[in-house]
Amino acid sequence: MITITPLRVGTIYCDKGKTLTQGVDNGKMMYIPSVSWLIKTPTEKILVDTGMPDTETSHSKHYPGSYQLPGERIEQVLKIQGVLPEEITKVIFTHLHWDHCQNGLLLPKAKFYVQKKELDFARNPAGTYFRSYDHPSIGLTPEFETYPLEVVDGDWEVLPGITAMLTPGHSPGHQIVVVETAPGTKYVIAGDAVLCYDNLLPSTQQDYVLPGRHKDSAETQQVIEKIITIAGATHRILPGHDERVFRKKEYS
């Protein structure tokens, strides 16, 4: 049996329309969770994303008002779950934005997996994405450059029952993680391809309310359709920044 546990690793304060739902609720400020995902299999413990940095960095360098409470840093929240940091064997980064890939060095035995297209873009991003990737050109330090990265190119099998799929749109090398928790039951850890459940609602401009922050609209639309098809039901889609994912302590 495979289980998935959502982990709160901080809180981001943002404009809903600009960040989550393009063209809907512009100017509505709200707090959204930064989420990592713990996957437990019979043989390994795997993380999808490691979350955001400390309060001072998040507030001053990224989104003012964002914070990380004591106990929410990735190794701390793992211990609350009864998991030691050294038990994590793999970390799969959905993408390398600042709020998804911090504190990896606190997981001493993990291998870190990232898509080639994502790493290439993170190292040479378009100007509007310098801050998203903590780019050195604006005086920031990308922590992912300190990790022992394993670069993948396209869809790949993590373990039997767990597959990562290249899903460009939110970022050029974004990937989702599909987890078959039981025969015939698949959950999709969507990262920021689906930022919140509102992205699955109809839009007046296109089939869905696209994430407010994305690199390519057409690809983002196609990826949402792909995720819905894979999951087969909305409740088996796990968005990257939606409070509602914590209604369940564990998905199986």
Tokens of 95: 């993408």
H/E stretch holding 32 reads strand 29-40
pLDDT of 219 strictly over 80 = yes
Judge contact between 206 and 218, C-beta under 8 A: no
Please give the CATH topology (third level) of the domain spanning 3-247.
Metallo-beta-lactamase; Chain A (3.60.15)
Q: What is the DSSP letter of 236?
A: G
pTM, to two decimals: 0.95
In this prediction, residue 203 carries a pLDDT of 57
Judge contact between 216 and 169, C-beta under 8 A: yes
In this prediction, residue 213 carries a pLDDT of 73
Looking at per-residue confidence, does 212 or 11 come out higher? 11
pLDDT tens-digit series, residues 124-177: 998 889 999 999 999 999 999 999 999 999 999 999 999 999 999 999 999 999
Radius of gyration of the chain (CA): 17
Looking at per-residue confidence, does 42 or 128 come out higher? 42
pLDDT tens-digit series, residues 83-107: 999 999 999 999 999 999 999 999 9
| Bridge partners, 46 (sequence order) | 39, 90
List Cβ neighbours of 162 (8 Å cut-off, separation of 6 or more): 2, 39, 41, 46, 177, 178, 179, 180
Q: How many helices (H) and strands (E) would you count in the chain? A: 5, 11
In this prediction, residue 204 carries a pLDDT of 53
Tokens of 7: 């982990």
Tokens of 59: 């507030």
Q: Among the listed ranges 42-56, 92-106, 114-128, 198-212, which one has the minimum average pLDDT value?
A: 198-212
φ, ψ of residue 137 in degrees (nearest 5): -65, -20
Would you list the domain boundaries of the chain? 3-247
- At residue 48, the 3 state secondary structure works out as strand
Minimal CA–CA distance to 32: which of 222, 211, 218, 221?
Answer: 211
Minimal CA–CA distance to 213: which of 94, 48, 97, 115?
Answer: 97
In this prediction, residue 201 carries a pLDDT of 82
